[in-house]
Chain A
Amino acid sequence: MTALSAVVAQIDDSFFTDRSEADCIRDNGAFCFEWVIDNFSDRYIGPTLEHLVLVGVSVALGFLIAFGMALLSHRRRWLIPPFIGATGILYTIPSVAFFFLLLGATGRGKDTAIIALTAYTLQIIYRNINAGLANVPAGSKDAGRGMGMTDRQLLWKVELPLALPEIIAGIRIATVSTVAIATLAVFAGGGGLGSEIISGSNITFKTGIVVAGGLAILMAIIFDIMLLLVQRRLSRWQRADRAERSGGGGSRGEFFRRKPAWTAQ
């Protein structure tokens, strides 16, 4: 083991900023705590922030584009199949290939990474906005129109608020998967946590991979919880529903059914 570490140290001298020369670096075990303490602020804060920007910008852009598409296809139903088809094709392109394909057009850098990541969010978000709008009770729409709401009022005051739980659910899924895919942005020169996973001798130094990967997982979990809280806040009416009728088989937002199963109906 010692011999291997020595080889690694030769390949990338700058990698070991460790001044304590802890044994665990040379051992290259599953996790070298001393190394992390020594290297965290130098090596990980920058990439983490880059990663946050990649995810935040891509999901925000993806949401804006998908939302625009959903509004377009809402009153023009015939647009839905082509939109689903187009976003579906984007979604199936292998991510590394996507990054390399774009390099020719947009060059290396964040922009390229963001374009690809945004394209991946479209399918999930667009589908969820559509599903949310489609699940708005017909009676509520008919009543709204019958009371004199314009199409725009109906959309913003009735349909979108009722679709919101599903829309945010879509954003959650898109965000979590973007956090993961963004680790590959490094192939497009987009930076992010991926650079710490593949850079230099990190490939053979387990602790570095564990920390970078762990940060990505942590980021995904934090995003997920934050969005869950937003979703709950914006759909209190749904929980009022469940609190009153435990066991009622509403399909909406089943995820967060908090009522224990043994509660009597």
Chain B
Amino acid sequence: MSDETSSNGAEALPVSYRETTKRYAGSDAPAVDSLSLEVEAGEICVLVGPSGCGKTTAMRMVNRMVEITDGDILVGDKSVRDRTPFELRREIGYVIQQIGLFPHRTIGENIGTVPSMLGWDKGRTSERVDELVNLIGLDPELRDRYPAQLSGGQQQRVGVARALAANPGVMLMDEPFGAVDPINRERLQNEFLRLQAEVKKTILFVTHDIDEAIKMGDRIAVLQEGGKLAQYATPAELLMAPANSFVEDFVGADRALKRLALMRVSDVNLWEAPLAYVGQATGEVRAKLEGAEVPHALLVDSDRKPLGWLSEKDLQNDVVPQRPDSSPDPILDSSDIMRDALSDLLQAESHYAPVVDGSGKISGVLSIEIVQEFLNSSDALEDEHSAAERPLAT
């Protein structure tokens, strides 16, 4: 994919808010109040908050759809205030909730809007359109259709493709999936994260939905009424240590579960299971149990696939029996999402669950204690995944 760099890999630019303030005429209270925020290049920064918190205003000041009253915003190392709005906007992708496709232009013409404004020749624009149609997974035949002939989900994909067309370093997305039904929203979010893993743009993403923020954000800026920044943190930080009661309320009472949704089982340190094989002397097994974290021995076959837990009764014989007393269920996969793993544990009324790797071999044991410890330790913050690498709930 050598041409990927030339087409989708235009350099992402950092965005930096410098005490940015917006005061609308006729209103004393600022809509955005001295906002300072650093968005690193290639990251998704989600602006989240209740309605009226100024998140959309904050986003729209980046491409000067809203003029800054005080302070500044830098895109790359240039102040947006020094740029001509029209030129600035052509270098910044723009996606809105209403999508705003042009009904009288075909899908291809819609996607080619900014390239043609920038004076690309027809051949280059057309090539780029093909590339993007492909990138968003749209049937190439739809290129010559009109927007009204596409479903809502397809239109939203076209909206994203149109914003990407001229390789912007920064993308602004204002509730892009807000008008889509929940099932399609989930699908579009997942698709978009996969796309972002490929194109790695700097993205400012506005939503009022904390779950979407946690799912989509590398970093989340929580704004509260009056356009004040309440907290700017990674999703895990936000869930673990809300800065104030506003953020705590906003992220919700289930924030522990939300954190678990961000991790896979493979992200935590599992306990080692005392393994036992059929026909092995029970003495050896008992010796292994001494001082082990898991107080039960796990019977595995010759491929190290779990067969079941051995009970005290099983160990009273000389050798390990073929049929253990209790089943190994639930068996978890190391790629399972932690939230789902915990749910399995709770549902099976089990304290421990064997975790297997992709080939079904035992790789450790997950216990309720591990989950509790994970929720209370700050280690988890260090190896937090970027949004595009997180497990995608389906």
Contact = CB atoms under 8 A, between A and B. Distances in A.
Given A139-B96, A142-B98, A240-B146, A147 B117 contact: yes
A140 B102 contact: yes
B155 to A, nearest CB: 11
Given A153-B117, A240-B145, A245-B148, A145 B65 contact: yes
A159 to B, nearest CB: 10
A147 B103 contact: no
A149 interface: yes
Interface in B164-180: 172
Contacts of A139: 96-100
A140 B117 contact: no
B63 interface: yes
Contact of B104 (A141, A146, A162, A243): A162
Interface stretch (B81-89, B204-212, B305-313): B81-89
A243 B98 CA distance: 22
Contacts of A148: 85-90, 114, 117
B117 A158 contact: no
Interface string A219-249: 0000000000000000111101101110000
Interface in A84-138: 137-138
B65 A146 contact: yes
B103 A144 contact: no
B113 A147 contact: yes
A143 interface: yes
A88 B102 CA distance: 33
B103 A237 contact: yes
B149 interface: yes
A255 B42 CA distance: 50
Nearest to B97: A139
Interface in B90-113: 90, 94, 96-105, 113
A161 interface: yes
Main secondary structure of the interface of A (DSSP, over half): helix
Interface string B99-140: 111111100000001100100000000000000000000000
A20 interface: no
A142 B100 contact: yes
| Interface size range on A against B | 20 to 34
Contacts of A142: 65, 96, 98, 100
Contact of B98 (A137, A145, A147, A235): A137
A263 interface: no
A153 B114 CA distance: 12
A150 interface: yes
> Which among B90, B97, B105 has the greatest number of chain A C-beta atoms within 10 A?
B105
Contacts of A244: 148-149
Contact of B96 (A143, A161, A240): A143
A240 B104 CA distance: 10
A182 B89 CA distance: 51
Nearest to A240: B146
A144 B90 contact: no
Contacts of B105: 237
Given A137-B98, A142-B96, A237 B104 contact: yes
Contacts of A158: 102
Nearest to B94: A146
Interface string B135-169: 00000000001101100000000010011000000
B86 A150 contact: yes
A147 B96 contact: no
Nearest to B87: A148
Contacts of A137: 98, 100, 103
B176 to A, nearest CB: 12
A143 B101 contact: yes
Contacts of B100: 137, 139-144, 146
A156 to B, nearest CB: 12
B94 A147 contact: yes
Contacts of A149: 86, 117
A137 B149 CA distance: 17
Contacts of A235: 104
Contact of A145 (B87, B89, B99): B89
A237 B105 CA distance: 7
Contact of B89 (A138, A147, A162, A240): A147
Contact of A241 (B89, B102, B146): B146
Given A147-B89, A148-B90, A162-B103, A237 B148 contact: yes
A161 B102 CA distance: 10
Among all A-B residue pairs, the 7 with the closest Cβ atoms? A143-B100, A139-B98, A139-B100, A148-B89, A241-B148, A146-B94, A148-B90
Interface of A: 137-150, 153, 158, 161-162, 235-238, 240-241, 243-245
Given A162-B104, A237-B148, 5 more contacts: A146-B100, A148-B90, A148-B117, A237-B105, A245-B148
